[in-house]
């Protein structure tokens, strides 16, 4: 490996060295496609976090995600299944095939037209592989559940199976809430879980109809709650009894409203 080597070639060489049975890294040698699944997800989320909160770390986080791709490619290459080069070759072919308006004579003028064409080409590709393919076959099963619900809704909406308006979905949300309450009365844990699932699925469709990506919206809500609760903890230290757990529910609610007011005044 030389310093003049292409950086991507150097990366492939480093990964191969880590996976070398003769002198490689014991941890890397133990890894499989299955064992690395969690790291792919974690690194992807860290990329998103860098985009939203720390752009100065985006380059590093993208590198960590790239590492996962190269690790999977090396494992597959050892099994003589595919390589990082074949991954790139198939990606280039797919990008050209799915962009006839760039690499062919077709003319498209809006991003919406591009998205529709992309889905049509994907659907045609799947049909060539599976004659009985479902519109839902394009939804990855490994997605986080909320995002999976969002994608399912998008797919079936293209087949004219959707609510007409956000208001109709809100009515369905209220209906699902009533069903949750009804099952709470029965104390049936399985039924409660099912109804809560239905409620979450419907909320994801409401987000979709409003043009909101639910996974991102929930992440922001989580961060907002965490930020406010940390501020509440700061206020608790100088308020009331020495143990913050001794504050009453009403006292905590008063502090919570104070935190919210502070944010509004800023």
Q: What is the pLDDT of residue 238?
A: 73
Q: What is the pLDDT of residue 46?
A: 92
pLDDT along the chain (266 residues), means of 10: 76 96 96 94 90 93 97 96 96 92 86 82 69 76 89 92 96 97 95 96 97 91 93 82 69 93 88
| Residue 70 · residue 15 · CB < 8 Å | yes
R_g (Cα) of the chain, nearest Å: 25
Q: Whole-angstrom Cα distance, residue 30 to residue 132?
A: 38
Torsion on CA atoms 91, 148, 32, 74, rounded to nearest 10: 10
Question: So what's the architecture of 141-212 in CATH?
Answer: Orthogonal Bundle (1.10)
Long-range residue pairs from 173-181, CB within 8 A, at least 24 positions apart, any chain: 173/199, 173/202, 173/203, 173/206, 176/202
Token look-up 């299944």 returns 81
pLDDT one-digit tens code per residue, 169-219: 999 999 999 999 999 999 999 999 999 999 999 999 999 999 999 988 998
| Residue 252 · residue 228 · CB < 8 Å | no
Q: What is the pLDDT of residue 139?
A: 87
Q: Whole-angstrom Cα distance, residue 136 to residue 120?
A: 14
Q: What is the pLDDT of residue 144?
A: 87
Strand runs labelled E in 94-210 = none
Q: What is the pLDDT of residue 31?
A: 97
**The model's pTM:** 0.65
Q: What is the pLDDT of residue 241?
A: 56
Q: What is the pLDDT of residue 122?
A: 76
Q: What is the pLDDT of residue 131?
A: 53
Taking domain 7-97, whether its CATH number is 1.10.287.1080 is answered by yes
Neighbouring C-beta atoms of residue 255, cutoff 10 Å: 21
| Residue 255 · residue 236 · CB < 8 Å | yes
Neighbouring C-beta atoms of residue 41, cutoff 10 Å: 14
The full set of domain ranges for the chain reads 7-97, 141-212, 216-265
């Amino acid at each position: 490996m030389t310093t003049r080597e292409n950086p991507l070639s150097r990366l492939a060489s480093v990964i191969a060295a880590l996976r070398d049975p003769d002198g490689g890294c014991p941890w890397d040698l133990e890894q499989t496609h299955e064992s690395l699944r969690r790291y792919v997800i974690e690194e992807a989320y860290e990329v998103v976090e860098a985009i939203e909160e720390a752009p100065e770390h985006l380059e590093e986080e993208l590198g960590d995600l790239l590492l996962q791709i190269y690790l999977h490619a090396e494992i597959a290459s050892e099994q003589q299944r595919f390589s990082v080069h074949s991954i790139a070759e198939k990606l280039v072919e797919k990008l050209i095939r799915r962009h006839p308006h760039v690499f062919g004579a077709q003319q498209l003028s809006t991003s919406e037209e591009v998205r529709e064409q992309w889905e049509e080409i994907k659907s045609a590709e799947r049909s060539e592989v599976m004659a009985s393919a479902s519109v839902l076959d394009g939804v990855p099963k490994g997605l986080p559940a909320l995002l999976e619900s969002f994608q399912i809704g998008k797919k079936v909406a293209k087949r004219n199976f959707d609510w007409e308006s956000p208001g109709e979905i809100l009515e369905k949300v209220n209906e699902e809430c009533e069903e949750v309450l009804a099952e709470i009365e029965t104390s049936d844990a399985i039924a409660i879980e099912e109804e809560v699932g239905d409620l979450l699925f419907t909320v994801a469709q409401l987000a979709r109809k409003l043009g909101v990506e639910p996974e991102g919206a929930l992440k922001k809500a989580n961060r907002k709650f965490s930020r406010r609760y940390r501020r509440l903890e700061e206020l608790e230290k100088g308020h009331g009894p020495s143990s913050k757990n001794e504050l009453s529910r009403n006292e905590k609610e008063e502090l919570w409203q104070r935190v919210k007011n502070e944010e509004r005044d800023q």
